[in-house]
Amino acid sequence: MAAELSTSINIKEPRWDQSTLVGRAKHFFTVTDPRNILLTNEQLAHAHKIITDYRQGIVSPGLTEDELWRAKYVFDSAFHPDTGEKMILIGRMSAQVPMNMTITGCMMTFYKTTPAVLFWQWINQSFNAIVNYTNRSGDAPITVSQLGTAYVSATTGAVATALGLNALTKHVSPLIGRFVPFAAVAAANCINIPLMRQRELQHGIPITDENDNRLGESTKAAQQAISQVVVSRILMASPGMAIPPFLMNHLEKKAFLKKFPWMSAPIQVSLVGFCLVFATPLCCALFPQKSSMSVSRLEPELQEKIRANHSGVERVYFNKGL
C-alpha cells in the first residue's frame, strides 16, 4: 500500500526555482497553457478542493505529488492569488494566446481604414482592460464607478494613440504601415495598464516579509510592479507583431494570396498564434511573480513603521500582477 503524501510540500510557491529564468519559464508555460481554459467548473472545483484541503493538512486519499502539483496549476490558472476569487475566463493568462492571436491578427490585417483601426483597437483595449483588471495586484475591492472610469480613460487614450499613429503613417511605405498596430499597442499598454490599475498607484499594494507576514501597503511597490508588467506586455506583443509583417509583405506578392486574398487573415492569425505560444510565457517569466524591493526604497513613513515593528526586515515582497 502506497504511503500517504507528505503535507510538507510548499505549494504556496511554484514547483520550479523562481530565482532563475528557466524556472520561471517552466512555471509560466504551465500557467499560460491554453488548454486550461477548456477545464470545466467541476474540474476547477475539484482542484480548488484538493489545494484548500492540503493547505489545512488534509490529503485526498491516493493523491500523488504530481497530481497535487497539477491541481495547484489548475487552481493558479483560474483563481486570483490575492483575493482567491475565480477570475473572468477571458482575463486568465491561459486565454492570452487564443484571444491575442485572433485580435492581433485582425488588427494587422485590417489596418488601412480608420473605422477598422478604431474597431479593432477598441476590441483590443477592451480585452486588455479585462486582463489588467483580472490580473491586478492586491486584494482591495474596486468599485463599479472606479472600474468604469478606468476603463473609459484607458480605452479612449489607447484608441486615440492608435488613430494618431495611423494618421502619421499615411504616406510611408506599406511595410512601415504594417508596424503601426505594434507601435499603437506598445504605446497603449503604457496608458491602459497604469489606468486600469490606478487604485494600486493611489493606495498601494500589500507588501510582506519573506514569511508572508503582511507589513502594509506601498505605492512604491505598485510603481515597480506596474512598470515590470508594462515591459513584459510590450515584449510579449513584439514577436507576434514584428515578424508576421515581413512574412505577409512577402507572401502578398505571391500568386497564392493574389488568387485567394481571403486567406490573408487566417495566415496572419496563425503566424501571430505561433509567436505568442512562446512569447507569452517567456515574457511573463522576465520578472519574478513574487517581486521584491529593498526597504530603503519604500515610502519614508512605511520604512519607519517597518524598522520600528520589524527591525530585521531588509527586503519586502509583493505580487506584481501579470
pLDDT band at 198 (very low <50, low <70, confident <90, very high): confident
- Report which residue type is found at 308: A
Task: With respect to residue 310, please indicate whether it lies within any of the assigned structural domains.
Answer: no
Residue 37: count of CB within 10 angstroms of its CB: 18
Q: pLDDT category, 322, cuts 50, 70, 90?
A: confident
* Statement to judge: residues 99 and 134 lie in one domain: yes
What are 310's three cell numbers?
520589524
In 10 A of CB 235, how many CB atoms?
15
pLDDT on residue 83: 78
Cell of 81: 492569488
pLDDT category of residue 138 using cuts at 50, 70 and 90: low
- Residue 128 domain flag: yes
182 in a structural domain: yes
Backbone dihedral angles phi then psi of residue 315, each to the nearest 5 degrees: -140, 140
The stretches of the chain forming alpha helices (DSSP H) are 21-31, 41-55, 65-78, 96-109, 114-134, 144-168, 174-178, 180-196, 198-203, 219-251, 255-259, 264-284, 300-309
Q: Dig out the grid coordinates for 3 from the structure.
A: 504511503
Dist CA 309 CA 286 (whole Å):
33
Q: Which pLDDT tens digit goes with each residue over 156-195?
A: 776 787 777 777 766 666 666 667 667 777 777 777 778 7
**Domain identity same for 159 and 264:** yes
Q: Is 200 among the domain residues?
A: yes
What pLDDT is attached to residue 1?
Answer: 41
Domain shared by 100 and 152, yes or no: yes
Amino acid at 108: M
pTM more than 0.85: no
Asked if the structure places residue 298 within a domain, the reply is no
Residues 146 and 184 in one domain: yes
Q: Report in angstroms the alpha-carbon separations of 45 from 13, 30, 51, 92.
A: 21, 19, 10, 16
- Pair 107, 236 in one domain: yes
Instruction: Give the model's pLDDT for residue 11.
Output: 81
pLDDT at residue 2 greater than cutoff 60: no
Phi, psi of 233 (to 5 degrees): -65, -40
Q: How many residues does the chain have?
A: 322
Cα gap 100→285, rounded to integer Å:
18
| Other C-beta atoms lying within 10 Å of the C-beta of residue 84 | 11
Residue 316 has pLDDT above 50, yes or no: yes
Query: Are 173 and 255 in a shared domain?
Result: yes
**Under 8 Å between Cβ of 40 and 60:** no
Residues 200-255: tens digit of each pLDDT: 888 888 888 888 888 888 889 888 998 998 888 888 877 877 777 777 777 777 77
Q: In terms of domains, do 187 and 40 share one?
A: no
Q: Does residue 16 lie within any of the structural domains?
A: no
Residue scoring higher pLDDT (155 or 63): 63
Q: At 33, is the pLDDT very low, low, confident or very high (cuts 50, 70, 90)?
A: confident
- 5 belongs to a structural domain: no
Same domain for 181 and 100:
yes
Nearest to 251 by CA among 121, 110, 98, 109: 109
Q: Does residue 224 share a domain with residue 138?
A: yes
What is the C-alpha separation between 44 and 197, in angstroms, rounded? 27
The DSSP annotation for 209-262 comes to -TT--EEEEEHHHHHHHHHHHHHHHHHHHHHHHHHHHHHHHHHTTSHHHHH-GG
For the stretch 264-313, pLDDT in tens is: 778 878 888 888 888 888 888 888 888 888 888 888 888 888 888 877 88
- Boundaries of domain holding 139: 93-205+217-283
Domain check: are 181 and 64 in the same one? no
Residues 268, 168 share a domain: yes
* Same-domain status, 192 and 97: yes
Q: Per the structure block, which three cell numbers stand in for 44?
A: 476547477
Q: Residue 294 pairs with which residues in a beta bridge?
A: 315
Q: Give pLDDT tens digits for 52-104.
A: 888 888 887 888 888 888 988 888 888 887 777 888 888 888 888 888 888 87
Q: How many domains does the chain have?
A: 2
